[in-house]
Amino acid sequence: MTEACIHQTIHTLDGNVRHLDAHIAAADEASRALFGRAFRPDAAALAARIGATLAAERPPHDRSAFVRLLLAPCGEATLRFAGVSLYRGYDLRTVRPEAVSLVYDLPLGEYPTSAQEAADALAAARAAALGARCAVRCDSGGFVRSADGAPLFAATGHRAVTPPGPRSAAATAAAAAIEAAGMTLEVRPLRREELTAFEELFYFDHRGVTSLSRCDGAPLMDIAATRVAHAAAAGNFGE
């Protein structure tokens, strides 16, 4: 049986850990809500552990690498190497998946847990059966929650909208990149039927920006997503 845990996937570049304080804050919020205990490690010591995890794997220096933090109910934090990016830093991913919106709720809220990952994996399989590569998750009330387990942004022109949710390092980085790209960001509930009113849908995670090509059959652009990705690649937000 897989042990219950809270997870964070951390982006590193040239040995530097990106948005570590935001990752700690997100894990702390989830740990307090689900496990009844704080997670407040020494950031410098955690960064050193992440560096040692990378050094043991010796990833190439010309690209970003990822380290996964797994926080158990007992408070033990485990680090695992999580692979190498195709890119150097945050960037616009070349893949533009087609998406379908699916309705499913998560157990025990919106926190990044092993249960959330299992639900998203099932949703991805259902999306594939429907001919898509990405699931835009909506809750049973009809409100949009995420895409591929990551914060979703709906954009038209210089305006972006994202649903509210728990503290997230990806959402923090995306908000800073959206502002740097000269766009305004509105955090508000977003209904499933609103998705077709936007010109673009994209999500932001440890890999960078992923722009959707279609959602529920409707074609989408990637102009704003490109601007946000360029801003994210150029900035050092949260470091």
CATH of the domain at 138: 3.20.10.10
**Could you tell me the CATH number of the domain that includes residue 41?**
3.30.470.10
Task: Please give the average per-residue pLDDT across 18-26, as a whole number.
Answer: 97
Residue 80, domain extent:
6-84
Q: 17 in a domain, yes or no?
A: yes
113 and 177 share one domain: yes
Q: Structure tokens of 210?
A: 């992923």
Residue 239 domain-assigned (yes or no): no
What distance in Å separates the CA atoms of residue 186 and residue 146, rounded to the nearest whole number?
15
Strands (DSSP E) found in 148-191: 152-156, 159-162, 184-187
* Residue 199 phi, psi dihedral angles, 5° rounding: -80, -25
61 pLDDT tier (thresholds 50, 70, 90) = confident
**Is the domain of 53 the same as that of 165?**
no
* Predicted local confidence at residue 238, as pLDDT: 42
Residues 134 and 76 in one domain: no
The model's confidence at residue 22, banded by pLDDT at 50, 70 and 90, is very high
DSSP label at 105?
P
The residue from 84, 108, 135 where one domain ends is: 84
Question: Which residue, of 49, 84, 119, is where some domain finishes?
Answer: 84
Provide the 8-state DSSP code for 139.
-
Q: Does the structure show a pLDDT above 50 at 237?
A: no
Alpha helices, DSSP H, located in the chain:
20-35, 43-57, 114-129, 169-180, 223-234
Average pLDDT, the chain: 95
| Per-residue confidence band for 51, with pLDDT thresholds at 50, 70 and 90 | very high
What is the per-residue pLDDT across 150-181, written as a single tens digit (0 to 9) for each? 999 999 999 999 999 999 999 999 999 999 99
pLDDT for 1? 40
Are 132 and 204 within one domain?
yes
Q: What pTM did the predictor assign?
A: 0.94
Say yes or no: 143 and 205 in one domain: yes
Domain count along the chain: 2
- Segment 176-204, tens digit of pLDDT: 999 999 999 999 999 999 999 999 999 99
pLDDT tens, 70-120? Answer: 999 999 999 999 999 999 999 899 999 999 999 999 999 999 999 999 999
Last-in-domain residue among 84, 103, 120: 84
Shared-domain flag, residues 34 and 119: no
Residues 132 and 192 in one domain: yes
Nearest-angstrom CA–CA distance, 115 and 117: 5
- Bridge pairing between strands 65-71 and 184-187: unpaired
Is 37 in the same domain as 146?
no
* Pairwise CA distance, residues 214 & 207, whole Å: 20
Asked if residue 18 lies in contact with residue 11, where contact means CB atoms within 8 angstroms, the answer is yes
